[in-house]
Every structure is written in structure tokens, then in C-alpha cells.
């Protein structure tokens, strides 16, 4: 494999890891970006169900980023392994 394929695979791994953290370990991303959720300031911005809207955004974007990283890395690798 060439260095380009390895670089794309590493970038895909970074995207998959970042997407996983955004989707399933949101406290890590919130601490890294200083997006704490103090309960007193978020009460006015919550929806009627009482959920944090940033949590939904992080979940959706995280899953999309994971899928993008996996698809790009797998497709580039398979194209360059083939005949």
C-alpha cells in the first residue's frame, strides 16, 4: 500500500474516533470545547420535554462523522488493494 492509502486510513480512523466521542462520550467533547451545561442557564433554552438540544446535535453529527470516516477509509483501501 502506498503512503496515501495509509494517510487516508489514519484520517478515517481519526474521524471514526471523533464521531464516536461525539455520539457516545459527549462529556469528553463538551469538556474539550468548554461546552459545559450549567443547569441554571440551559433551563430557558430547553425544549418542553426537558432535553438538551446540543446533545441531539452531537449525536447526529457524531454518527454522520463515524459513517463518513469508515466509508472513505474502507473504499480507498479496497480500491487500492484490488487488481
> Could you state, in order of their start, the residue ranges of all structural domains in the chain?
3-81
pLDDT, one tens digit for every residue, the chain (83 residues) = 789 999 999 999 999 999 999 998 888 888 888 877 655 455 555 555 557 778 888 899 999 999 999 999 999 999 998 76
Residue whose C-alpha is closest to residue 16's, from 65, 78, 55: 65
* pTM (predicted TM-score): 0.75
Rounded CA-CA distance 4/1 in Å is 8
Amino acid at each position: 500500500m502506498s503512503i496515501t492509502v495509509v494517510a487516508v486510513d489514519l484520517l478515517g480512523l481519526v474521524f471514526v474516533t471523533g464521531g464516536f466521542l461525539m455520539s457516545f462520550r459527549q462529556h469528553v467533547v463538551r469538556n474539550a470545547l468548554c461546552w459545559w451545561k450549567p443547569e441554571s442557564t440551559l433551563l430557558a433554552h430547553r425544549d418542553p420535554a426537558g432535553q438538551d438540544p446540543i446533545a441531539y446535535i452531537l449525536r447526529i453529527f457524531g454518527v454522520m462523522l463515524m459513517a463518513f470516516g469508515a466509508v472513505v477509509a474502507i473504499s480507498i483501501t479496497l480500491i487500492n488493494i484490488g487488481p
